[in-house]
């Protein structure tokens, strides 16, 4: 007993109920009642049942959780948090009958945000984006993926990535950055999408990789964006620079983007409303995570849901993320996404929480260090004033976060 790492921890939470979300723990939510979790040097160093612990021998600070639930920190694995301006006018246009695709074809949509983002310098862009990051973090998000994709020139994409990397200097959140230069064709390349893809492959990807500004490369495979052939060139360039890939796929139509992503062993394929069985099979075979984005589905009032039953049957890991962006999901709340993943897509509360923890970590290639409560992982976790973890997906808008722990330290936002 005395040589348990628990006795050399810096901080120990006793009388806790752990929703470990670890598949090695057979109960729903990987739940462990009456447990102790200990932290040392920012990592989870011990998880033990209460009955095996000699409380008086603990050396670190002891925190009595009083039976409260502890979950892993939430992970938002798909966001466009960094951008300038807003697109509130487009919701009026859409409610008067224009579709998202109509607005994009008229030079609005993503390009409207490109204009607003290019106009800001780094400090202005950081200040515009920080309130959104803080909103996510205040709810319990401890890791956020942030994409570029509103710059669409070499300089503006790198500017976005630098802001994304730096934005967390003021906030206790981990950031994972993704290059999304292949988001849409900028006006300088109107009618010449292949020339723009060449710029992405030959200049933007190499520069972002050389400057260590990106963790992965994403793209938009869609009628209003890039074809599977063009996307394949981007993926190949990313892999030549040692970068993992992911895709916005099957959001508005079925282009076979998920199959393509699977062929390149993508970390994730995201959206997937129009995914078919062949796409599901491809994701299952490649171990690619299906990232569902109920905020965009809801905000665009999409007519078709992603094929959750097929994904489940094939054993594809399902993540849930906010897609926080000005056009299709101006909703800075991962808790709201958990709720909508259940009400709109039919996930169970346990599946939705796994989608914002274990599977979200996998979608970022960070499953070794994040996403579950397990010895050796980063000590990012949340103590909640709830009776049952299902409340996290059920109730919305009431602050139930008692303690937000980031790298082992208290980190309120």
Residues near Fe ion (CB under 5 A): 323
Q: Is the dihedral of CA 274, 247, 137, 13 positive or negative?
A: positive
Give the residue with the Cβ less far from ligand DI6, 21 or 146: 146
Give the residue with the Cβ less far from Fe ion, 205 or 291: 291
Distances 326 to 77, 114, 116 between C-alpha atoms, Å = 17, 11, 11
Give the residue with the Cβ less far from Fe ion, 76 or 323: 323
Q: Do residues 231 and 217 touch, judged by C-beta distance below 8 A?
A: no
Least distance in angstroms from the C-beta of 214 to ligand DI6 = 17
Distance CA 238, CA 209 (A): 9
> Which entry of Fe ion, ligand DI6, none binds 326, CB below 5 to 8 A by partner kind?
ligand DI6
What is the SS3 assignment for 409? strand
Distance CA 291, CA 297 (A): 12
Give the residue with the Cβ less far from ligand DI6, 69 or 220: 220
Distance CA 30, CA 20 (A): 5
What is the SS3 assignment for 40? strand
Spatial neighbors of 21 by CB under 8 A, at least 6 apart, are 29, 30, 71, 72, 353, 354, 357, 358, 371, 372, 373
> Which entry of ligand DI6, Fe ion, none binds 352, CB below 5 to 8 A by partner kind?
none
Give the residue with the Cβ less far from ligand DI6, 215 or 218: 218
Residues near ligand DI6, by CB under 6 A: 109-110, 113, 183, 220, 248, 251, 296, 323, 325-328
Least distance in angstroms from the C-beta of 87 to ligand DI6 = 7
Give the residue with the Cβ less far from ligand DI6, 251 or 255: 251
Element holding 296 (H helix, E strand): helix 294-299
Least distance in angstroms from the C-beta of 178 to Fe ion = 10
Distance CA 34, CA 335 (A): 26
Distance CA 122, CA 161 (A): 10
Least distance in angstroms from the C-beta of 150 to ligand DI6 = 7
Closest-by-Cβ residue to Fe ion is 323
Give the residue with the Cβ less far from ligand DI6, 176 or 328: 328
> Which entry of Fe ion, ligand DI6, none binds 140, CB below 5 to 8 A by partner kind?
none
Least distance in angstroms from the C-beta of 328 to ligand DI6 = 4
Least distance in angstroms from the C-beta of 191 to ligand DI6 = 20
Q: What angle is formed at CA 355 by the lines to CA 352 and CA 357, rounded to 5 degrees?
A: 115
Closest-by-Cβ residue to ligand DI6 is 327
Least distance in angstroms from the C-beta of 239 to ligand DI6 = 21
């Amino acid at each position: 007993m005395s040589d348990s790492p628990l006795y050399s921890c810096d901080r120990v939470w006793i009388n806790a109920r752990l929703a470990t979300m670890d598949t090695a723990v057979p109960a729903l939510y990987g739940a462990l009642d009456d447990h102790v979790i200990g932290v040392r040097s920012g990592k989870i160093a011990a998880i033990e049942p209460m009955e095996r612990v000699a409380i008086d021998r603990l050396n670190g600070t002891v925190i009595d959780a009083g039976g409260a639930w502890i979950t892993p920190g939430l992970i938002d694995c798909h966001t466009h948090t960094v951008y300038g301006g807003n697109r509130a006018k487009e919701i009026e246009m859409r409610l008067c009958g224009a579709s998202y695709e109509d607005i994009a074809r008229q030079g609005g949509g993503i390009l409207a945000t490109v204009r607003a983002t290019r106009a800001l310098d780094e400090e202005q862009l950081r200040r515009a984006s920080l309130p959104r990051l803080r909103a996510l973090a205040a709810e319990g998000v401890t890791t956020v993926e942030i994409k570029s994709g509103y710059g669409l020139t070499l300089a503006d994409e790198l500017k976005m990535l630098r802001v994304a990397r730096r934005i967390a200097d003021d906030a206790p959140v981990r950031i994972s950055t993704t290059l999304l230069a292949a988001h849409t064709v900028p006006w300088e390349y109107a009618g010449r999408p292949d020339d723009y893809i060449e710029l992405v492959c030959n200049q933007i990807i190499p520069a972002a990789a050389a400057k260590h500004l990106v963790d992965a490369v994403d793209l938009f495979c869609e009628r209003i964006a890039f074809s599977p052939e063009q996307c394949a060139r981007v993926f190949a360039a990313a892999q030549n620079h040692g970068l993992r890939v992911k895709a916005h796929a099957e959001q508005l139509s079925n282009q076979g983007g998920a199959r393509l992503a699977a062929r390149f062993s993508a970390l994730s394929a995201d959206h997937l409303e129009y995914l078919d069985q062949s796409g599901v099979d491809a994701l299952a075979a490649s171990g690619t995570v299906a990232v569902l984005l109920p905020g965009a589905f809801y905000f665009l009032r999409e007519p078709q849901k992603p094929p959750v039953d097929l994904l489940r049957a094939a054993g594809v890991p399902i993540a849930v993320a906010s897609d926080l962006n000005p056009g299709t999901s101006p909703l800075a709340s991962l808790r709201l996404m958990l709720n909508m993943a259940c009400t709109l897509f039919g996930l169970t509360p346990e599946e939705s929480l796994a989608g914002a923890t274990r599977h979200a970590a996998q979608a970022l290639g960070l499953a070794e260090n994040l996403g579950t409560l397990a010895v050796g992982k980063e000590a990012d976790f949340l103590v909640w004033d709830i009776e049952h973890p299902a409340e996290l997906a059920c109730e919305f808008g009431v602050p139930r976060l008692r303690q937000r722990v980031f790298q082992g330290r208290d980190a309120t936002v």
